[in-house]
Structure 1
Amino acid sequence: MSNLRLGIRAHDLPATSLDELLQQANQYPFTNFQFAPLKLVTLGLGDVNLTPGLATAIFTKMQQQGLSVSLLGCITNLADPDSQNRAKEIHRFENFMSVARYFGNAVVATETGSVSSTGYTTENFEEPAFERVVASVRQIAQSAEKLGTLFAIEPGDNHPIHDLDTTRRLLQAVDSPNLKLVFDPVNLITQANYQQQDQLIDSFLNEFSDKIVAVHLKDFAIINHHCEVCAFGQGQFHRERFIKLITQRFPHLFCTFEGIQPQQIPAAIAELQQWVSLDKF
């Protein structure tokens, strides 16, 4: 049996303090968090100044409980049409990269955002949005190379980087060894392509295998001709095939539960353990 390193997004656990978060995580065989301070207001974080001292204090407590940070999440709208807002968010992302070493050299990650602040828009699929993302990622890559930090982009079907083609074009436009990918297959599955999910996944893995640093684990169900996201183990995702495939190709890969409720975690873990072993270190 192959192994994976199972983790969870910290903000998917209902903790109101860092100590409580660590206690809740240790009820399960998690080794790591996707840790997004901007989404952890209940822990006293949120849009705080992320300093080396604060990062060290948080990470030291995690290590004492046998936990680490796989991805340091920094939600950044790389496609924001407002250049001032975009510059401010990129600056924050660069600051996260500057303190990533204090989180055990975690990979700093984000999705690519949206042209609209109100939700889905077809403008995300137009060339101006793509070009803004390229410009943003190019700037971040220059900073990452200076800092010696890895950063990752997560493609998603409602974002400017939303499929194999736009992912390929981004990587060609920004040819940086520090630019990596978070692969969430469900983010790329739609009502139109879900029956070809195996081919989509194989193509992504074959083309971008050297860029993938982490995988998200969730599920989907087609309901009334719409693709609805649900917890891992609750839908139509070809889970067994995917898990066996990634652990054979990427032993000990960081795999993160996303959008899962605490009561759903035991069943999801039990299903995983039918196919793979979970790291305990």
Structure 2
Amino acid sequence: MQIGIRAHDIHIFDDPEKLAASLKDHQFRYVQFAPRVSLAGLTDNGANINFGLGNRVKQAFDANGVKIAVLGCYCNIIDPDETKRAQVLAQFKKYLTVAHSFGADLVATETGSADPTFHKTVNNFTPVKIEETIAVIQELVTAAEKVGCLVGIEPGVNHPIYSLAVTKQLLAAIPSPNLQIVLDPGSLVMEANDDPVEILKQGIAEFGDRIYAFHLKDFVYKQDHIEITPIGEGSADIEAMLRVINAQQPSAYAIADELSSTDIEQSLTHLQTMAQAIQ
């Protein structure tokens, strides 16, 4: 089984050629790529991307057998400041237009927060806020349809699209195939007894045909939130999740998320060992 990572978890920045070579050395065939991080200097922290830069990245990655599976443009698409919201939506639409230059088919984001500081707030979970968020996503999907690209939405507990049920509501409201889901079971753990393996199974059962990619992370649950750990040191059964994905959607994109910068080689070793054991 092949797995991917976020490209910026390999700490090589503003040098696509060197980054691509390192990803090949680590035996990764696909990645999630965030210009805001991996090309922070070249893009003014992701604000300015262009077709030529996308082509440069694509050529470097193609030469090393690496695919950009997900182009990341994670931003607060429901920022309460209307000026800021307009700016990030314009930026996301630019990413949709340029995505194919990077060799990517999908641009992904979470759904943001009614609180611009991203502190937990019940205001994210009101029917009004959920409907507002769906309307914003519809605007992005309409833009994606025009340029032949896909919008990827990653649900999470601190966002308006915060559960499997609300994700189903979103997909029913926007039946367009240009809207896809990036499913991270760990990001939907609301309580200590929530099992990410069961969340994964339920998500695949309920809307598997709209899942573009999976995110996987290890963590421990503390009080009312999860804390990320190196792979193999938390409570998440990563191997079980990989086996579910491989059985239900063979060769699907499975991307390790939020790898610890201090233990990345350890985490990568664990991941590669688990993936190689799955036939």
Same fold at TM > 0.5: yes
- Write the letter of the residue equivalent to 2:152: A
1 CA distance for matches of 2:46 and 2:200?
35
Partner residue in 2 for 1:247: 246
Deviations along 1:221-257, one digit per CA (max 9) or x if unpaired, are: 1245642222332211122321111111111111111
Q: Select between 198-207 and 35-44 the one with higher mean Cα deviation.
A: 35-44
Q: Give the one of 7, 11, 16 matched to 1:14.
A: 11
Partner residue in 2 for 1:273: 275
Partner residue in 1 for 2:69: 70
8 Å CA contact 1:31, 1:68 repeated in 2: yes
Q: How does 1:97-246 map to 2 (within 5 A)?
A: 97-120=96-119, 121-194=121-194, 196-223=195-222, 226-246=225-245
8 Å CA contact 1:233, 1:267 repeated in 2: no
* Identity fraction in percent: 33
**What is the Cα deviation at residue 43 of structure 1?**
5.4
- Write the letter of the residue equivalent to 2:28: F
- Write the letter of the residue equivalent to 1:59: K
Runs of 4+, deviation exceeding 4 Å = none
Structure with the bigger RCO (C-alpha within 8 Å, sep 6+) is 1
8 Å CA contact 2:47, 2:91 repeated in 1: no
**What is the Cα deviation at residue 56 of structure 1?**
0.6
Q: Unaligned stretches of 5+ in structure 1?
A: none
8 Å CA contact 2:155, 2:187 repeated in 1: yes
Q: Select between 252-261 and 136-145 the one with higher mean Cα deviation.
A: 252-261
2 CA distance for matches of 1:185 and 1:275?
22
Q: Unaligned stretches of 5+ in structure 2?
A: none
SS state of the match for residue 25, structure 2? coil
8 Å CA contact 2:80, 2:116 repeated in 1: no
Deviations along 1:112-136, one digit per CA (max 9) or x if unpaired, are: 1111122222211122321221111
Q: Give the one of 25, 28, 46 matched to 2:26.
A: 28
8 Å CA contact 2:215, 2:256 repeated in 1: yes
8 Å CA contact 1:244, 1:275 repeated in 2: no
Partner residue in 1 for 2:38: 40
**What is the Cα deviation at residue 57 of structure 1?**
1.1
Q: Select between 168-177 and 150-159 the one with higher mean Cα deviation.
A: 168-177
Q: Does 1:263 align with 2:257?
A: no
TM-score, with normalisation over the residues of structure 2? Answer: 0.90
**What is the Cα deviation at residue 89 of structure 1?**
1.1
- Write the letter of the residue equivalent to 1:232: I
- Write the letter of the residue equivalent to 2:21: Q
Deviations along 1:127-152, one digit per CA (max 9) or x if unpaired, are: 23212211111111111111111111
8 Å CA contact 2:35, 2:46 repeated in 1: yes
- Write the letter of the residue equivalent to 2:99: A
